[in-house]
Amino acid sequence: MLKHFLIGAALLLALSACGGGDADSMVTTITGPGLNASLASAAVGVPFVQRSNNLSVAVEAGPSNGFSLSQNANILYATVKVCVPGDPSQCQTIDHVQVDTGSVGLRVLASKVTQLHLPVVALPSGPVWECYPFVIGGLWGSTAVADVMLGAESAMALPVQLIQDDQGAPIQAPLDCANAANGQILSSSSALGSNGILGIGSVTLDCGLMCLLGNYAGSYVQYYSCPKDAKSAASCVPAAVPANMQVYNPVAAFSSDNNGVILTLPAVTGLGASTASGELIFGINTQSNNQLSASASRVRLGVDWHTNPDSYMNITTRYKGQTILNSYLDTGTNGLFFTDNSGSPTPRCSNSSWYCPISTQKQIATISDGDNLVPQNATEVQFNVGNAEALFLTTNSAFGDLAGAPPSTSSTGVPSFSWGLPFFYGRRVYLSIWQQAGAVNGPWYSWSTL
């Protein structure tokens, strides 16, 4: 979904114009001439055994997407349990929550937890609300405190966002938020393509210093304080929010196994698979099932904001003569998104940003550390670019060869290379969380082939 840490989550884009700019995740929805059930492929998966530190995940159709004909493509889902703080008898299990390594924080549709009456996060001036934009869409909603269960792991008293999905509620997104979201406030499961977003990215807070100081100059306002009896967003004011009240990475809030995640997904080839099931493991080098392989490739994310802002929390990709500093791995992006400006560019589909070569193209890029113009820890990555129109003619949900150019609406003038969900198929991918105990020399990505 998004790079947003300044913000790091999933988004929805319609192929023709409709989403991670500052937020880098992208979920581009399916459009096409029609769907053909006869082209459905078998389900694929990796073995899953419930342990104390893992969670079953799956790519499948999920909730209907308002932009698509009938299905979502490459959206990774998990089931999350949300409880009243300190009361395990009052819980709600929420299915089809998108797993997003490009954002931070749990965000669920408010209607899914209405009956829990979760305690609100509040400043002296009133309850805290949040605007969380992606490339062309965004979320608006209040914040609350909940105990969050992911498999057998738990994050207690965690600040989360409740996505406003009541169109009749008095406090709808303010104009500044709508503008930041390119006019696309996602306020339903059909618009979002899920019942929420599980942001487990490379940092702990969803905003950090900017929101701590309440200094939104030159940016959109992320956190607001709205009076309890407010009749509209006009009563809401920009707010400085302490770190312990900002929406927080659920994995970082675990009492253990909190320094990163490992995602394992099966290989998906050709026209794709109807579903693809895998395993999300919590912690790195904390238990027998999450040991980092000595032979795994590893690249470090850039952390020098002042010298190399384009590399901040990013890696570097070199592709067809381009050096792209704004590059990242992101399960919340549903394709490989990059611009091919070479002498023989990959053909695009008719009237869309997806790529549609006549036959599948085999491509090569090199990934290396962020912050370094001279490649460090350079690793060659091979990937396929399939014909998106042919993929979308199936009823499959998982596509390993899906790729496209970043839509013009997401352009910031800085070239980007988003290694979305197709990168994760057929790999065991490790993603550390910066400044957590045990995440030595982080943040970093590492991976090995299954």
**pLDDT for 376-429, tens place per residue?**
999 999 999 999 999 999 989 999 999 999 865 444 567 889 999 999 999 999
Q: Has residue 295 got a pLDDT over 70?
A: yes
What's the pLDDT score for residue 21? 32
Classify residue 245 as left (phi > 0), alpha (psi -120 to 50) or beta: alpha
Q: Has residue 4 got a pLDDT over 60?
A: no
Domain 284-449 in the same topology as domain 12-39+68-245: yes
What's the pLDDT score for residue 438? 60
- Beta strands 122-123 and 126-133: pairing type? antiparallel
Summarize the confidence of residues 336-355 as an average pLDDT: 90
Average pLDDT, the chain: 88
Q: Has residue 441 got a pLDDT over 70?
A: no
Let me know: does 57 contact 263? Beta carbons within 8 Å.
Answer: yes
Q: Which has the minimum average pLDDT: 193-207, 229-243, 293-307?
A: 293-307
The sign of the dihedral angle between the CA atoms of 123, 124, 127, 133 is: negative
Percentage of the chain modeled with pLDDT above 90:
75
Q: Has residue 15 got a pLDDT over 70?
A: no
What's the pLDDT score for residue 304? 84
What's the pLDDT score for residue 62? 85
**Spatial CA neighbour of 67 closest among 186, 173, 177, 168:** 186
* Separation of alpha carbons 265 and 210, rounded Å: 35
Helix, strand, coil: what percent of the chain each, to 5?
Answer: 10, 35, 55
Summarize the confidence of residues 43-47 as an average pLDDT: 96
Beta strands in 239-321 (DSSP E): 260-264, 276-282, 297-300, 315-319
What is the residue extent of each domain of the chain?
A: 12-39+68-245, 284-449
The residue type found at 114 is T
What's the pLDDT score for residue 440? 59
Q: Has residue 439 got a pLDDT over 90?
A: no
What's the pLDDT score for residue 373? 67
Fold assignment, 284-449: Cathepsin D, subunit A; domain 1 (2.40.70)
Query: Looking at domain 12-39+68-245, which CATH architecture does it have?
Result: Beta Barrel (2.40)
What's the pLDDT score for residue 372? 73
Quote the distance between the C-alpha of residue 79 and its chain's center. 16
Structure token digits, residue 212: 């701590």
Q: Has residue 200 got a pLDDT over 80?
A: yes
446 Cβ neighbours under 8 A, 6+ residues apart: 292, 293, 296, 297, 298, 299, 429, 430
- 69 pLDDT band, cuts 50/70/90, is very low
Q: For 105-160, write each residue's pLDDT tens digit.
A: 999 999 999 999 999 999 999 999 999 998 768 999 999 999 999 999 999 999 99
What's the pLDDT score for residue 407? 64
Q: Has residue 40 got a pLDDT over 90?
A: no
Burial profile 97-109: b = 16 or more Cβ within 10 angstroms, e = fewer = bbbbbbbbbbbbb
